[in-house]
Amino acid sequence: MPRKIVPFTKPECQGIFCEASTCVLEAASKEGVKTYVQRMQDRAIQPCLFGEGGTCCRNCSFGPCMMIDDVPESIGICGATPATVAARNFARMVASGSSAHMDHGRETALTFLATAKGEAPFEIKDEKKLHFMAELYKVKTDGRSKEDIAIELGEKVLAEFGQQEGALVMTTRAPAKRQELWKKVGVIPRGVDREVVELMHRSHMGTDQDYKNLIFQASRCALADGWGASMIATELQDILFTTPVPLRTEVNLGALSEDHVNIVIHGHEPQMPEAMAIVSQEPEIIAAAKEVGAKGVNLAGVCCSGNEVLMRRGIPIAGSFTQQEVVLATGSVEAMVVDVQCVMQGLADVAKCFHTELITTSPRAMIEGATHIEFDHHRALEIARDVTLRAIGRYKQRQRVRRIPDRKMDVVAGFSHETINHMLGGAFRASYRPLNDNIINGRIRGVGAVVGCDSCREEAGRPNTAVVEELIANNVLVLVTGCVATSCGREGFLSPEAAERAGPGLREVCETVGMPPVLHMGSCVDNSRILIAATEIVREGGLGDDISQIPAAGCAPEWMSEKAIAIGQYFVASGAFVVFGRTFPTTGSKAVTNFLFREIEEIYGGKWAVESDPSKMAQSMIEAIDKKREALGIQEKKERVLFDMAMRREL
């Protein structure tokens, strides 16, 4: 398995891990192309300690009030304590992160409804899931057409966004014990949008000033994301665009083509990427590409737009979050098409250095210097054709193939929770039984979810893969989503051959089934697949009767976005132990941090932690997994594999 650790000799490339990216950036920076690497170095102002620890408040014009914990006079002009301020800031991160997934879910539901009504050029593809969802939402199916069912389902789902009372339907999929607990605590989300609005209200100046009460609503809001909007997005997208099944594809900058028109899709919502994928195969489009001397149109993804079409169509991913500017710096991209979230504004300047057109498509996300071509699901294909033809028109301006590194890695992706069911359970009787049995007999020690971003503050991607490597060596089956999945793909962890790097028990299971030890479950809204997988493990039996009891833990080694905080909070409120890397946004307040890192476990059975050393992070997850095994009475004494730097290099 080729694996190369890049020595960080060149100061301008500090912070880059992937060798292919380093090469591109070195060459581009000589031509004056500026990316986040230069911006990090140019930044005159260092990160603010008050901001980083969460104790800076600018919620009213008396402030900003910056405060230091434990200094009695260090409180806001209104009297707000560091704990109140840290909890308010944390809560607002949860609100913002959740709202991103909620708007995504809403857009999906609107496209779903339009499709059902025949007003959008997509199809109801997964009828089995349509029927499953119909049953869940109490939509009658007997004797009705799939469109009819989908219309009623779509309307019911959309109504949940504005719902004021009751409970979101998806929460009823959680283990019974978890639902009871949520009811008892009072955090069952009542409506999707309501919980964000209430959280924003409560964190307004002079409203909720009890940090525990603020975090209580932050949990309810986060649950409205994970067991609400994100799950809605995942399931409806599966019905529209198919539920993923394992497929082979490629990851890294080498996914760009030297002799095709390269169009990069970046952002989060799958509608535009799906439309682009459809039109890029049309004979007229291919003919137009040939007319300008190209062999056709090559689509490649970045971030979660990429993950969506990688999972369902096997379209390769050119780069993760930190690679988005690098992708353009290859000088070989005719158009980058972006919608919402995680899109760096710096892309506009990088695009200007080349013949690349940066195209924004969402009315909610415009960038100065980009071309705005608004997406409308009713005219999805028309718009996709327009965008594709523009890109084709630029192909001749591509100077030469500047620097597409010859680097890409084979990956197997497409692990929905349904796939895991079939794959491990066999073709005849799909079930989670074999997975549970392998956990009980100790071949698989437990399940580790490694999710989230890759970070400019780190050697991008390295902490992610270091944690993954150590987990699988300790027989922990790893589930990945988002940009972590791309980090893992680049380093070869998403291929069945990676089983060689797993501990003997996990390796045996992987080799029997022919699966990688690291399963790519999709984009970040698809973290909802992990919630369902955990629920299925509980339902299968033998590993406790709630998510908090199963030998599992989660982490986000290189988290950067507010969405990551929302995701972490819904996992904690669902009973999971969650470790975040490098920094945590409440560390300026001991009270709030203590609450989130310790006391909250008594309420939900899950808690937060922060750890910047990847090996210690992996070990803390393994420790948590072992504790759960002990409590279940299935723990045998087992050696733990500890990685030091020398071992890593040797590998």
Residue ranges in contact with ligand SF4 by CB under 6 A: 57-60, 62-65, 76-78, 80, 85, 205
Q: Which is nearer to ligand NFS, 193 or 562 (by Cβ)?
A: 562
For residues 389 and 399, give the distance between their C-alpha atoms in angstroms, rounded to a whole number: 19
Q: Which is nearer to ligand NFS, 101 or 398 (by Cβ)?
A: 101
Nearest approach, Cβ of residue 445 and ligand NFS (Å): 26
Any idea what the Cα angle at residue 456 is, between residues 454 and 458, rounded to 5°?
Answer: 80
Find the length of the chain. Answer: 651
Query: Counting contacts by CB under 6 A, is residue 563 touching ligand NFS?
Result: yes
Ranges of beta strands (E only) in 151-291 are: 247-251, 261-267
Among ligand SF4, ligand NFS, none, the one that 453 touches (CB under a kind-dependent 5 to 8 A) is ligand NFS
List the interface residues with ligand NFS, window 464-503 (CB under 6 A). Answer: 482-483
Residue 27, class by beta-carbon neighbours within 10 Å (0-12 exposed, 13-18 middle, 19+ buried)?
middle
The answer to whether 213 and 582 are in contact (CB under 8 A) is no
Q: Which is nearer to ligand NFS, 357 or 558 (by Cβ)?
A: 558
Q: Which of 338, 347, 524, 625 binds ligand NFS (CB under 6 A)?
A: 524
The answer to whether 71 and 386 are in contact (CB under 8 A) is no
Q: Which is nearer to ligand NFS, 270 or 414 (by Cβ)?
A: 270
The answer to whether 581 and 476 are in contact (CB under 8 A) is no
Give Cβ neighbours of residue 601 (< 8 Å, ≥ 6 apart).
607
Helix, strand, coil content of the chain in percent (nearest 5): 50, 10, 40
Query: Counting contacts by CB under 6 A, is residue 370 touching ligand NFS?
Result: no
Among ligand NFS, ligand SF4, none, the one that 60 touches (CB under a kind-dependent 5 to 8 A) is ligand SF4
Give Cβ neighbours of residue 623 (< 8 Å, ≥ 6 apart).
none
Q: Which is nearer to ligand NFS, 472 or 483 (by Cβ)?
A: 483
For residues 341 and 319, give the distance between their C-alpha atoms in angstroms, rounded to a whole number: 15
What is the identity of the amino acid at 473?
A
Tell me whether the omega of the peptide bond preceding residue 64 falls within 30 degrees of 0, making it cis: yes
Identify any residues that bridge with 359 across adjacent strands, giving them in sequence order. 337, 371
The token pair that represents 198 in the structure block: 């209430």
Nearest approach, Cβ of residue 71 and ligand NFS (Å): 35
Q: Which is nearer to ligand NFS, 187 or 411 (by Cβ)?
A: 411
Query: Counting contacts by CB under 6 A, is residue 105 touching ligand NFS?
Result: no
Candidates 424-432, 460-468, 558-566, 642-650 — which segment interacts with ligand NFS by CB under 6 A? Answer: 558-566
Of 177, 134, 128, 130, give the one whose Cα is nearest residue 535. Answer: 177
Query: Counting contacts by CB under 6 A, is residue 417 touching ligand NFS?
Result: no
Nearest approach, Cβ of residue 526 and ligand NFS (Å): 9
Among ligand SF4, ligand NFS, none, the one that 304 touches (CB under a kind-dependent 5 to 8 A) is ligand NFS
The answer to whether 67 and 76 are in contact (CB under 8 A) is yes
Nearest approach, Cβ of residue 119 and ligand SF4 (Å): 46
Q: Which is nearer to ligand NFS, 312 or 443 (by Cβ)?
A: 312
For residues 391 and 265, give the distance between their C-alpha atoms in angstroms, rounded to a whole number: 12
Q: Which is nearer to ligand SF4, 64 or 514 (by Cβ)?
A: 64
Query: Counting contacts by CB under 6 A, is residue 403 touching ligand NFS?
Result: no
Q: Which of 25, 87, 133, 303 binds ligand NFS (CB under 6 A)?
A: 303
Nearest approach, Cβ of residue 561 and ligand SF4 (Å): 24
The answer to whether 474 and 447 are in contact (CB under 8 A) is no
Nearest approach, Cβ of residue 190 and ligand NFS (Å): 25
For residues 223 and 167, give the distance between their C-alpha atoms in angstroms, rounded to a whole number: 11
Q: Which is nearer to ligand NFS, 244 or 482 (by Cβ)?
A: 482
Of 598, 597, 553, give the one whose Cα is nearest residue 575. Answer: 553
Query: Counting contacts by CB under 6 A, is residue 453 touching ligand NFS?
Result: yes
Candidates 281-289, 359-367, 561-569, 628-636 — which segment interacts with ligand NFS by CB under 6 A? Answer: 561-569
Contact footprint for ligand NFS (CB under 6 A): 268, 303-304, 321, 342, 452-453, 482-483, 523-524, 561, 563-564
